[in-house]
Amino acid sequence: MKIDTICDKNFSVIRITIPPQTSVSFIGEKVFVRENSSRVEVEGPKLLAVSEYFVKSLKKTAQA
């Protein structure tokens, strides 16, 4: 995580940069994803899709 402060014309803006996730995160035995501003638990086929997303993402990174 990186935090920057930018000051311009009497305004201060705080920018928080969070690096992308590289793998599925578990909370106990559960996996959650963000859908808009909500946190939703995923199971079954949707959990497999989330896992496949990270596998594909890692393959793209390795090829670059």
- Considering its fold, how many domains does the chain have in total? 1
What confidence tens digit (pLDDT) does each residue in 32-56 have?
A: 998 888 989 999 999 999 999 888 8
**Position 53, amino acid:** Y
User: Region 16-29: what's the mean pLDDT?
Assistant: 88
**DSSP structure string for 14-53:** EEEE-PPP-S--EETTEEEEEETTEEEEE-HHHHHHHHHH
Q: Domain range spanning residue 50?
A: 2-61
pTM to 2 decimal places: 0.58
Out of 8-17, 18-27, 39-48, least confident range: 18-27
pLDDT given for residue 64 in this prediction: 67
Give how far Cα 1 sits from Cα of 6, 20, 26, 30, Å. Answer: 16, 10, 20, 24
CA–CA dist 31, 37 (Å, integer): 16
Average pLDDT, the chain: 88
